[in-house]
Structure 1
Amino acid sequence: MIEPKLIPKRILPRYGFHGHTEKLNGRLAMIGFIALVILEIKLGHGLLVR
C-alpha cells in the first residue's frame, strides 16, 4: 500500500453544533445537575422553595 507524502491537517470549526462541543456541554450539564442534587440534599429542601 502506498502511503501519502503529505497528510492534511484537520481544522476544527470555531462555532456551531459539533461533536466535541456537544460532549463538553453535556458533561458540564451533568456536573451541574449532580451539584444541584447534592446542594438540595445538604439544605434539606429545594433550592427555590423555603
Structure 2
Amino acid sequence: MAEEQAKFGFTQFAENWNGRLAMLGFIIGLATELLTGQGILAQLGLM
C-alpha cells in the first residue's frame, strides 16, 4: 500500500483544483452578467 502524502501547499493536486475552481468562478461570473445585464461592480452596488 502506497503511503499518502500531504495535499497542502503548492502541489500539483492543489494547483489543479485551484485552476478548475477559478475557471468555474469565471464562467459563473460571465453567466451572471449576461442574465442580469449588469457587471459585477453594479451588482455589488459599487457603481
Unpaired stretches in structure 2, ≥5 consecutive residues = none
TM score, norm. by length of structure 1: 0.71
The structure that is helix-richer by fraction is 2
TM-score normalised over the length of structure 2: 0.75
RMSD: 1.6
* SS of residue matched to 1:13: coil
Structure 1 spans left out of the alignment, 5+ residues: 1-7
- Give 1:23's match in structure 2, choosing from 16, 25, 34: 16
Structure of greater Rg: 1
Runs ≥4 in structure 1, deviation > 4 angstroms?
A: none
What fraction of aligned residue pairs are identical, expressed as a percent?
Answer: 37
